[in-house]
């Protein structure tokens, strides 16, 4: 039988966050079992306002608007004015089904709009979906190095790559290292070169150094801010996000995405609007992450691993004492029963580092603390 599949065609690579089975087995061998700090999957309660909003079923009947219901868009506009002090019209905003689909799909849509360009610039150590979006669009993914404070170093971008760029991704606070970019500089850099700057701001509510930063604070021309409720409101399962910014780009995305059929389910739009209007649960969540980050820094210190607090986000970015990230991954699995991500998940520059997610219940954190204490006694 002949195959219709081109042998040179795209083969999906292994999913980058999967932990090697032998490491999981090491952690599972400890009494009490595995404590997974390798993923940023929320573990705290869904906010009460969302639980009540989900009890209202009528919004499940009609097809929901792809761009977002007027109520959801109004809640976004209100959030932008309250939290980042940016005033927008509802037409400058669109909804997305969580942000991963948008991140992975944007290069394809940008290339259709501008076939002359074929390059996606992204932070060299980053959420892997920026590069995957380029691959899925048949484009080049070109990493941009970070400086020693984990900020994107735009002076390192080759001007030939900039001339071919469909977009530049920035991520503040950054995953994995928690750095805060100068978003004004990024916006300026993009405008000077006609490169749209896509600013992934999904951790903005967990900014520890100074007030929350958004690229929209530097004007909307040529930029797009991308936001998610997954981390802010413990709603990764609801799939609600939004984008906002440059009116032409937002119009283009709203219209193409309607044709593609990206729709946040009606009940999720109602619940998402309720979550965005409530800030109290976010304050509680931010305090939890802060406390857990501090606790993890202390626990790692007990097993001889030095870690510093990030400027934002809920990850510790930790250098392996002997420079070997896999030996630190194994040490933490065997001594503490904890799974963490090897830094190389975020790009080749992550060699020698691991990411520890402070997404862990207080009970599990206590178990890790006891394990660490028993080693030091
Ligand atoms: C930097 C970054 N961007 C985007 C996402 C996607 O989040 P979601 O699709 O849940 O909105 C994640 C998820 O971990 C992330 O870390």
Which of 38, 98, 99 is the best mutation target for the ligand 1 pocket, counting ligand atoms within 8 Å of the beta carbon and taking the most?
Answer: 99
Structure-token pair, residue 326: 């896999």
E runs forming strands in 106-222: 119-123, 140-144, 165-171, 197-200
Query: Measured in angstroms, how far is the CA atom of residue 332 from the centroid of ligand 1?
Result: 25
Please give the angle made by the CA atoms of 246, 249 and 254, to the nearest 5 degrees: 115
CA distance 233 to 275: 7
Q: Which atom of ligand 1 is nearest to the CA of 230?
A: 10
- Give the CA count within 13 Å in the CB-facing half-sphere of 205: 25
* pLDDT value of residue 2: 55
* pLDDT value of residue 139: 98
Query: Measured in angstroms, how far is the CA atom of residue 308 from the centroid of ligand 1?
Result: 23
Q: What is the CATH number of domain 48-277?
A: 3.40.640.10
* pLDDT value of residue 23: 94
* Ligand 1, CB within 6 Å, residue ranges: 40, 98-100, 103, 127, 171, 175, 200, 202, 228, 230, 236, 241
Angle between helices 325-336 and 21-28 (to 10 degrees): 30
Q: Which residue has the tokens 């599990």?
A: 364
Integer Rg of the chain from CA: 21
Domain 21-45+281-376 and domain 48-277 have a common topology: no
Q: Where are the domains of the chain?
A: 21-45+281-376, 48-277
* pLDDT value of residue 20: 86
Residues in the chain: 377
* pLDDT value of residue 355: 97
Residue with CA at minimum distance from ligand 1 atom 14: 40
DSSP state of 374: H
* pLDDT value of residue 4: 75
| Rounded mean pLDDT for each run of 10 residues along the chain, 377 residues in total | 74 82 94 94 95 92 97 98 98 98 98 98 98 97 97 98 98 98 98 98 98 98 98 97 98 98 98 98 98 97 96 98 95 97 95 96 95 87
Q: Is 11 exposed, middle or buried (0-12, 13-18, 19+ CB in 10 A)?
A: exposed
Query: Measured in angstroms, how far is the CA atom of residue 36 from the centroid of ligand 1?
Result: 18
Strand 338-339 to 315-319 pairing: unpaired
* pLDDT value of residue 49: 95
Which of 16, 101, 202 is the best mutation target for the ligand 1 pocket, counting ligand atoms within 8 Å of the beta carbon and taking the most?
Answer: 202
CA distance 245 to 249: 8
Structure-token pair, residue 322: 């002997």
The verdict on domain 21-45+281-376 having CATH code 2.40.50.1020 is no
């Amino acid at each position: 039988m002949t195959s219709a599949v081109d042998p040179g065609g795209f083969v999906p690579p292994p999913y980058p966050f999967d932990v090697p089975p032998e490491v999981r087995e090491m952690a599972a061998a400890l009494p009490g079992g595995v404590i997974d700090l390798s993923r940023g999957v929320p573990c705290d309660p869904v906010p009460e306002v969302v639980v009540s909003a989900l009890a209202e079923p009528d919004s499940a009947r009609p097809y929901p608007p792809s761009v977002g219901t007027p109520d959801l868009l109004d809640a976004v506009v209100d959030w932008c004015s309250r939290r980042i002090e940016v005033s927008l019209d509802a037409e400058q905003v669109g909804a997305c089904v969580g942000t991963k689909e948008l991140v992975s799909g944007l290069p394809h849509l940008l290339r259709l709009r501008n076939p002359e360009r074929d390059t996606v610039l992204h932070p060299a150590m980053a959420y892997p979906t920026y590069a995957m979006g380029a691959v899925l669009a048949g484009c080049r993914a070109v990493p941009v190095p970070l400086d020693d404070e984990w900020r994107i170093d735009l002076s390192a971008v080759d001007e030939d790559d900039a001339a071919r760029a469909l977009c530049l991704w920035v991520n503040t606070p950054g995953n994995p290292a928690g750095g805060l970019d100068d978003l004004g500089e990024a916006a300026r850099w993009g405008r000077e070169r006609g490169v749209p700057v896509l600013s992934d701001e999904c951790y903005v509510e967990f900014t520890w150094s100074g007030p929350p930063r958004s690229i929209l604070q530097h004007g909307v021309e040529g930029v797009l801010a991308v936001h998610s409720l997954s981390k802010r409101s413990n709603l990764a399962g609801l799939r609600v996000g939004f984008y906002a910014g440059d009116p032409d780009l937002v119009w283009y995305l709203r219209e193409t995405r309607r044709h593609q059929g990206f729709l946040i389910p009606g009940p999720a739009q109602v619940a998402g609007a309720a979550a965005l209007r409530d800030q109290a649960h976010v304050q509680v969540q931010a305090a939890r992450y802060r406390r857990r980050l501090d606790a993890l820094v202390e626990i790692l210190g007990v097993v001889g691993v030095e870690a510093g607090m990030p400027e934002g986000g809920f990850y510790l970015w930790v250098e392996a004492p002997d420079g070997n990230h896999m030996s630190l991954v194994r040490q933490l699995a065997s001594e503490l029963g904890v799974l963490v991500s090897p830094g190389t998940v975020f790009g080749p520059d992550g060699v020698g580092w691991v990411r520890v997610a402070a997404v862990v219940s207080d009970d599990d954190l206590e178990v890790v603390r006891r394990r660490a204490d028993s080693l030091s006694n």
